[in-house]
Chains A and B, each alone.
Chain A
């Protein structure tokens, strides 16, 4: 328990510098945020067009899709605004740059993940409240609830991204597979999953946990089912634990890039 507390304290110390890296170039930060926000809204308009023609999609209306789309935007945004380093880990592993982090007294993972922030994440995050308020007509308490769900989903996204970016530790030929896998995960996470067949839903709640980014939060919010909320929270902790275990296992296989001199 003490180790977990210390790790959380360490991560909290790493977040402000990560944010500073994201905001280092103010012009880039604001332009990336604004354009990310705009692209999310433009993409969502496709769903507005869809629901101007059809009343529902297997029980989901525009409000539900707005909750889902906002949830995906918020979770991806919060995950990478603070932990943009996770997206780059596969490249760092490939180039042997883990050495710099392995030489530090703390576990290398928090340092690697919270190495930098991604400005576009802020644009993603601010999309969510707009969609939730304008299209799903959420009140303050519902916004708070969705934000909590978003934090859990963000953790699932981070865990998945971490596992995907650990691939070069196990397969030297992983190449650009991590980018493609993450893109696939993002695609599946941002479309309504209630129309999927049962087997696919099971897959999305186990091996490819995109269901915890879109499907479970929306269903929990729609039905007010406490067990679904608890399940989401438990899944986020479980997936992050598994991801850390996979990273630790992969570290044993890591061959140094002989970059110890760059350690600082």
Chain B
């Protein structure tokens, strides 16, 4: 697919997301509620009990959660779309087209993510400032945060897209999504930074793509130095390449199943 076609699909995706305002506005409210819930939890947490090397304050943890939840909300919408496409035959119909289903979707999602990101980033920064009264980073660091969150969201939406395709093989997509989502929350460090996890769990987490989705961007709120940013981008780039390759492989496998089965 040419670059202009990819860009065209991305613009189409962005326009669609901008049109479906309700589908963004309501999750923004849920996002705000979650941040409020955890702000109260972190304010009530005895953070002084942490060992000296790991010490963080409530504001740091709230900003961490603002970023991890933001990434989840920006990227986590593709599953239902793909699953519906499989169930109502759109996925099968797409096999006749010259451009692969996954190529089209990945381009559309890139556009959609930009619109969703603008809404959730605005909400996130307002919420973070509201609940902490602080800003953990300087203005020049802002683009790095934005890129990190967008890369995390891209990996997240690609994984969800892959899981949606699982419906081709039977009613397994939803259970697979539940498990992946919860592993993402746990191993990605949605609520608490991975640095607070036991060492064995940290080691287990780093062999999965989940820290690249959530922890990498969240950590920037706690430790925003150049090395953290560079290492984070490298991890995110690696997992984005792996998950994108996997998405095409899963799509090919699903297409083979449909061709063999006949539907």
Q: A39 contacts B181, CB within 8 Å?
A: yes
Q: B26 contacts A176, CB within 8 Å?
A: yes
Q: Name the A residues within 8 Å of B45 (CB-CB).
A: 54, 57
**Would A38 and B179 be within 8 Å (CB), given that A55-B49, A180-B27 are in contact?**
yes
Stretch at the interface among B122-130, B144-152, B191-199, B230-238: B191-199
Which residue in A36, A42, A191 is a CB contact (below 8 Å) of B37?
A191
Q: A25 contacts B171, CB within 8 Å?
A: yes
Q: Name the A residues within 8 Å of B50 (CB-CB).
A: 53-54
Considering only residues 46-92 of chain B, those with a C-beta below 8 Å from chain A are: 46-47, 49-50
Q: B196 contacts A49, CB within 8 Å?
A: yes
Q: A195 contacts B40, CB within 8 Å?
A: yes
**Mask of A35-60 contacts with B, CB within 8 angstroms, 1/0:** 11011001101100110111111100
* Residue of A with least CB distance to B33: A184
**Would A50 and B192 be within 8 Å (CB), given that A42-B182, A188-B33, A195-B41 are in contact?**
yes
Q: Name the A residues within 8 Å of B37 (CB-CB).
A: 187-188, 191, 196
Q: A43 contacts B44, CB within 8 Å?
A: no
Q: A32 contacts B44, CB within 8 Å?
A: no
| Contact-residue size bin, chain B (C-beta under 8 Å from the other chain) | 35 or more
A45 to B186, CA, bound (A): 7
* Residue of A with least CB distance to B49: A54
**Mask of A13-40 contacts with B, CB within 8 angstroms, 1/0:** 0000000000001011001101110110
Output the least CB separation between B186 and chain A (Å).
5
Q: Name the A residues within 8 Å of B27 (CB-CB).
A: 180
Considering only residues 193-228 of chain A, those with a C-beta below 8 Å from chain B are: 194-197, 200
Q: Name the A residues within 8 Å of B185 (CB-CB).
A: 42-43, 46
Q: A42 contacts B44, CB within 8 Å?
A: no
**A242 at the A/B interface (Cβ < 8 Å)?**
no
Q: B44 contacts A46, CB within 8 Å?
A: no
Q: Name the B residues within 8 Å of A46 (CB-CB).
A: 185-186, 190-192
Output the least CB separation between B183 and chain A (Å).
6
Q: A184 contacts B29, CB within 8 Å?
A: yes
Considering only residues 151-209 of chain A, those with a C-beta below 8 Å from chain B are: 175-177, 180, 183-184, 187-188, 191-192, 194-197, 200
**B34 at the A/B interface (Cβ < 8 Å)?**
yes
A146 to B204, CA, bound (A): 35
Which residue in A54, A55, A175, A191 is a CB contact (below 8 Å) of B22?
A175
Q: DSSP class of A's interface residues: helix, strand, loop or mixed? A: helix
A27 to B170, CA, bound (A): 10
Q: Name the A residues within 8 Å of B30 (CB-CB).
A: 180, 183-184, 187
Q: A43 contacts B182, CB within 8 Å?
A: yes
Considering only residues 132-148 of chain B, those with a C-beta below 8 Å from chain A are: none
**B178 at the A/B interface (Cβ < 8 Å)?**
yes
Q: Name the A residues within 8 Å of B186 (CB-CB).
A: 42-43, 45-46, 49
* Residue of A with least CB distance to B196: A53
* Residue of A with least CB distance to B198: A52
Q: A32 contacts B174, CB within 8 Å?
A: yes
Q: B40 contacts A187, CB within 8 Å?
A: no
* Residue of B with least CB distance to A181: B26
**B259 at the A/B interface (Cβ < 8 Å)?**
no
A36 to B176, CA, bound (A): 10
Q: Name the A residues within 8 Å of B47 (CB-CB).
A: 54
A42 to B198, CA, bound (A): 15
Output the least CB separation between A222 and chain B (Å).
17
Q: Name the A residues within 8 Å of B176 (CB-CB).
A: 35
Q: B178 contacts A39, CB within 8 Å?
A: yes
Most buried by A among B33, B46, B175, B192: B175
**B172 at the A/B interface (Cβ < 8 Å)?**
yes
**Would A49 and B175 be within 8 Å (CB), given that A54-B45, A183-B30, A192-B41 are in contact?**
no
Which residue in B41, B178, B190 is a CB contact (below 8 Å) of A35?
B178
Output the least CB separation between A51 and chain B (Å).
11
Q: B191 contacts A50, CB within 8 Å?
A: yes
Please name 15 further chain A to chain B contacts, defined as beta carbons within 8 Å, in addition to the given A53-B196, A54-B47, A191-B38, sorted by A numbering.
Answer: A31-B175, A34-B175, A35-B176, A38-B179, A39-B182, A42-B186, A49-B198, A49-B201, A50-B191, A52-B198, A54-B49, A54-B50, A57-B44, A175-B22, A191-B37
Task: Please list the 7 inter-chain residue pairs (A to B) with the smallest Cβ-Cβ separation, ordered nearest first.
Answer: A35-B175, A195-B44, A42-B182, A39-B178, A180-B26, A39-B182, A58-B44
8 interchain pairs, CB-CB under 8 A: A25-B171, A35-B179, A36-B175, A43-B185, A49-B196, A53-B49, A57-B45, A180-B30
List residues of chain A with CB under 8 Å of any chain B CB: 25, 27-28, 31-32, 34-36, 38-39, 42-43, 45-46, 49-50, 52-58, 175-177, 180, 183-184, 187-188, 191-192, 194-197, 200
